[in-house]
Amino acid sequence: MAVATTSSNAAVRGGSTLTKRQARLAMIMLAPTFFVLILVAFYPLVRTFLSSFTNEPFANPTAEVANVGLENYQKLLGIQIAPFPEGASLRDTMITGYRRVNTFELFGERYLFAAGDPMWIQAIVNTILFTIISVALEFSIGLLVALVVNTRFRGRGIMRAVMLIPWAIPTAISTVLWRYMLNDNTTGAMNALLSAFGLIEPSASIAWRSQYPLLSVILVDVWKTVPFVALLLLAGLQTIPTDLYEAGAVDGATVPQRFFRITLPLLFPTVLIALVFRTLDALRVFDVFAILLPNTTRSMATHNYEMMVTSYQYGYASATGVLIFIIIFAFTILYMSLFRVEVD
């Protein structure tokens, strides 16, 4: 009995030693990856955070850098609302250090909405509106496309390949193409098409990018990204057993009932992945705004770029980058809380 106990203890010690050796080997193998992550992710993030408290200029290493504390954040986050009655002078009402964003009425009284950086406030509004509308449209249209190509019909394989063409084209190239298609006169494909169907007069062409800037970028982004969402949802639909639909049909369930009681519940994990990916991607949108609406309508990312590269305010742009990170992180937490995502 003593011999058996000793052998058992030795086996446990041997297994424990082997486990420790494997863990040590795993850490050694992962060390280069950790080093690269620290180099390309952690260090720039810390550098940006520290620079956000300074007035450091961009591309001027010899310039003196002073610590300005929370001044950059106060300018970015500072907003004021003041009464603005009829006949009042904007100059007299304007708050020192703030610039006008808009005026509005509430309970019959007029108010002035001012901010330290009005373009940043407008960039936040533009980005959030763009995110909500574009993601909603991409999910709705993508789900419809996925349901169509998931059915059996002749040419389904060709259809699945063709629908990926917009996603395969680089975003910069597709946006440049759409910029010409949205030209203000009839040389633009959109105006020419509407004119050909008699929906608008040739002399009354729509200036899409100046009259409807957000609609223009949403249109381009939806056209570009619907295939990606459809592909993700199609992959989820392929995992649902057809036996469930057959059983539902036998039980007398209608097509809408099968969709809401079988398809959507089983597709929910894929839907969540698609929504998270697209929301986070839309919140950091840069290329579509920069190419289609240069220096007119800004997103948070293009405003950050303008502050750093055009205005040479690296410290201020760093504070903008930190706020963008916080906003995206907040949306991530919101998704995880709203859909009760569990992280093991």
Q: What is the mean pLDDT of residues 204-215?
A: 85
- pLDDT at position 5 is 52
- pLDDT at position 318 is 93
CA distance 166 to 225: 8
Among 11-25, 31-45, 236-250, the range with the most confident prediction by mean pLDDT is 236-250
pLDDT tens digit sequence for 48-80: 899 999 998 988 888 888 899 899 999 998 888
CA-angle at 287, arms to 175 and 40, nearest 5°: 145
Answer whether residue 93 shows pLDDT above 70. no
- pLDDT at position 141 is 94
CA distance 79 to 72: 13
- Under the banding of pLDDT at 50, 70 and 90, the label for residue 320 is very high
Answer whether residue 297 shows pLDDT above 70. yes
- Under the banding of pLDDT at 50, 70 and 90, the label for residue 92 is low
Contacts of 3-7 spanning 24+ positions with Cβ under 8 A: none
- Name which of 209, 210, 192 is nearest 201 in CA terms: 192
pLDDT, averaged across the chain: 84
Start-to-end CA distance of the chain, whole Å, equals: 42
pLDDT tens digit sequence for 19-28: 788 888 888 8
Q: What is the mean pLDDT of residues 326-333?
A: 87
Q: Which pairing describes strands 99-106 and 79-83: parallel, antiparallel, or unpaired?
A: unpaired
Answer whether residue 341 shows pLDDT above 60. no
Residue bearing the bigger pLDDT, 89 or 76? 76
Answer whether residue 272 shows pLDDT above 60. yes
Answer whether residue 344 shows pLDDT above 50. no
Percent of the chain clearing pLDDT 90 (strictly above): 29
- Under the banding of pLDDT at 50, 70 and 90, the label for residue 343 is very low
- Name which of 15, 268, 267, 221 is nearest 127 in CA terms: 221
Coarse DSSP helix, strand, coil percentages of the chain, rounded to the nearest 5 percent: 70, 5, 25
Q: What is the mean pLDDT of residues 172-196?
A: 84
219: its two tokens: 């249109």
Domains belonging to the chain, first-starting first, are 79-115 (no CATH), 119-338 (1.10.3720.10)
CB 51 within 8 A of CB 73: no
- pLDDT at position 28 is 85
Q: What is the mean pLDDT of residues 284-302?
A: 90
- DSSP codes joined into one string, 212-274: SHHHHHHHHHHHHHHHHHHHHHHHHHHTS-HHHHHHHHHTT--HHHHIIIIIHHHHHHHHHHH
Number of H helices, E strands in the chain: 17, 3
| Unique residue bearing structure tokens 């082997």 | 18
- pLDDT at position 99 is 83
Whole-structure pTM value: 0.83
- pLDDT at position 340 is 66
